[in-house]
């Protein structure tokens, strides 16, 4: 993908073998670090101050990892025990910030990959926020509201010691939405007797920000608009393939429709729906109600509107010009990427974190596709979380228009940074390189200023 000289390749190999040895079995963490190190090692070679201060070595070791048991009682009276974590990765440029994920697949390696990525992403937003991630192997699917409430309350009994508006501010991620944030916020407030912005993604009646719900999906579309504009293209009439049907996917689909493009797919872990007429207007409202209120499956959309459902499959074989993976990590392989390219893909923006595996990234870069990695494309979510923190500190609420305008500006600024650091001789922007270096510099300079800490 990036051609390195022999000596830089050796340095990368030695760095990675050390990292793998120190973090055995953490596959996703290795993958995320490799992608960054591949871009940063040549940059650091040209900027010796970072090398002398061992910034890359320090940046790949979390500040701390908190791991704890969450005991709760289910509706049948059984006592259950799950495992939760908070990985506080790096607070060089601001309080730790990043989502909480509730999914049975959650483990330390996945949260370390997410916390590592978050550090770069948060830096790219230009806001004063450090990187963190947390979560639990608890599966909210099929649980009653009361069970989810008891789990969230029990989790906060431990987590409250480790967070704070100037320390660490969690938010949502997979399996953690408005309901879970509300239960956690209510428990924190009850324990600490303080009403303060210790979580983002809160309800609008208790300190939440307008546009936070839409921010990640809208932001990914804004970033795509900037990539397309630079290439002399636009959204009008373009067919878009979207994976997922959660918070990120739904508002990515919404914004694509508003921009005049045609989003034709949505998915969940059961499979994907293909609606060649576009998931827009009343159909999108129906899908939102299905997913956000009834917590149903996308298959029901296909049954209701009489379109195709592909059980157990991902949507990458559907021909499109634009693709938006918005479900989870490693959901798009090298083979999928090749299929998308063969079918006429122009641009792809990752609403999810690391949805494309290493082979897939190579295919997109080799074919000079406009490829926006998650840490740039999905930064709109955490950016509006940062704006929610600002509003909480000021004890005011900005209008929808104000927040949306700030989000638009932040995404444009991230695009500028990617172009600044990623533009090649042939005018093709390697957004992976651009995002990694752009995110790195601010954090690294702060670390340099602090000395050996």
Catalytic positions, please? 133
Taking CB under 6 A as the rule, which mask of x and - marks residues 146-185 in contact with ligand NDP? --------------------------xxxx-x--------
**Dihedrals φ, ψ of 151, to 5°?**
-65, -50
* 60 counts as binding ligand 2IT under rule CB under 6 A: no
State in angstroms the smallest separation of the CB of 119 from ligand NDP: 14
Give the span between the Cα atoms of 167 and 94, in whole angstroms: 8
Which residue from 122, 239, 247, 356 is in contact with ligand NDP, where contact means CB under 6 A? 247
Q: Is 211 left (phi over 0), alpha (psi -120 to 50) or beta?
A: left
* Residue 327 touching ligand NDP (CB under 6 A): yes
Examine residue 200 and tell whether it contacts ligand 2IT (CB under 6 A).
yes
Phi-psi region of 252 (alpha: psi -120 to 50; beta: other; left: phi over 0): alpha
Binder of ligand NDP out of 326, 346, 363, 403 (CB under 6 A): 326
d(CA 219, CA 413): 12
For ligand NDP, give the closer residue by CB, 227 or 352: 352
Query: How is residue 291 written in tokens?
Result: 């997913």
Q: Which stretch binds ligand 2IT (CB under 6 A): 95-103, 185-193, 219-227, 430-438?
A: 95-103
The pair of three-digit structure tokens given for residue 90, joined into one six-digit string: 């790096």
- Determine, following the binding rule CB under 6 A, whether residue 91 of this chain makes contact with ligand NDP: no
Residue from 134, 257, 315, 381 in contact with ligand NDP (CB under 6 A)? 381
* Neighbour-count burial for 335-368, b at 16+ CB within 10 Å, e otherwise: ebbbbbbebebbbbbbbbbbbbbeebbebbbeee
Q: What share of the chain is helix, strand, coil (3-state, %, to 5)?
A: 50, 15, 30
| Element holding 71 (H helix, E strand) | strand 64-73
Q: Which of residues 342-381 bind ligand 2IT (CB under 6 A)?
A: 353, 381
Verify binding: residue 248, ligand 2IT, rule CB under 6 A. Answer: no
Look at residue 70 and give its three-state secondary structure.
strand
Residue nearest to ligand 2IT (CB): 99
Q: Which residues bind ligand NDP (CB under 6 A)?
A: 172-175, 177, 216, 244-249, 268-270, 326-328, 351-353, 378, 381
Note the residues at the interface with ligand 2IT (CB under 6 A): 97-99, 118, 121, 171, 173, 200, 353, 381-382, 385
């Amino acid at each position: 993908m990036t051609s390195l000289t022999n000596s830089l390749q050796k340095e990368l190999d030695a760095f990675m073998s050390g990292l793998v040895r120190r973090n055995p079995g953490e596959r996703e963490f290795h993958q995320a670090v490799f992608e960054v190190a591949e871009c940063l090692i040549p940059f650091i070679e040209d900027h010796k101050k970072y090398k002398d201060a061992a910034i890359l070595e320090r940046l790949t070791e979390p500040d701390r990892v908190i791991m704890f048991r969450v005991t709760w009682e289910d509706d049948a009276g059984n006592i259950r025990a799950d495992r939760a974590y908070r990985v506080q990765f790096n607070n060089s440029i601001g309080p730790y910030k990043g989502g909480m994920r509730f999914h049975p697949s959650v483990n330390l390696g996945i949260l370390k990959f997410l916390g590592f990525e978050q550090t770069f992403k948060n830096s790219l937003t230009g806001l004063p926020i450090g990187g963190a991630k947390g979560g639990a192997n608890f599966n909210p699917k099929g649980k009653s509201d009361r069970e989810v409430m008891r789990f969230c309350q029990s989790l906060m009994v431990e987590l409250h010691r480790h967070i704070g508006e100037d320390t660490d501010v969690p938010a949502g991620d997979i399996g953690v939405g408005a309901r879970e944030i509300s239960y956690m916020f209510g428990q924190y407030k009850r324990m600490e007797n303080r009403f303060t912005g210790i979580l983002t993604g809160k309800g609008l009646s208790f300190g939440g920000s307008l546009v936070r719900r839409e921010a990640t999906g809208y932001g990914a579309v804004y970033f795509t608009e900037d990539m397309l504009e630079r290439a002399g293209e636009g959204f009008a009439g373009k067919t878009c393939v979207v994976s997922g049907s959660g918070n990120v996917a739904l508002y990515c689909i919404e914004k694509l429709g508003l921009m005049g493009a045609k989003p034709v797919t949505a998915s969940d872990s059961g499979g994907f729906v293909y609606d060649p007429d576009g998931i827009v207007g009343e159909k999108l409202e129906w899908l939102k109600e299905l997913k956000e209120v009834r917590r149903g499956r996308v298959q029901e959309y296909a049954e209701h509107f009489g379109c195709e459902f592909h059980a157990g499959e991902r949507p990458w074989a559907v021909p499109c010009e634009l693709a938006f993976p918005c479900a989870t990590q490693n959901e798009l392989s090298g083979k999928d990427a090749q299929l998308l390219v063969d079918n006429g893909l122009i641009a792809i923006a990752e609403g999810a974190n690391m949805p494309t595996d290493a082979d897939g990234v190579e295919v997109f870069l080799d074919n000079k596709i406009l490829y926006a990695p998650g840490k740039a494309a999905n930064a709109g979510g955490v950016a509006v979380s940062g704006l929610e923190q600002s509003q909480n500190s000021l004890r005011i609420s900005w209008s929808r228009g104000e927040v949306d305008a700030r989000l638009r500006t932040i995404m444009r600024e991230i695009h500028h940074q990617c172009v600044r650091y990623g533009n090649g001789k042939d005018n093709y922007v390697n957004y992976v390189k651009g995002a990694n270096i752009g995110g790195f510099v601010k954090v690294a300079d702060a670390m340099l200023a602090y000395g050996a800490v």
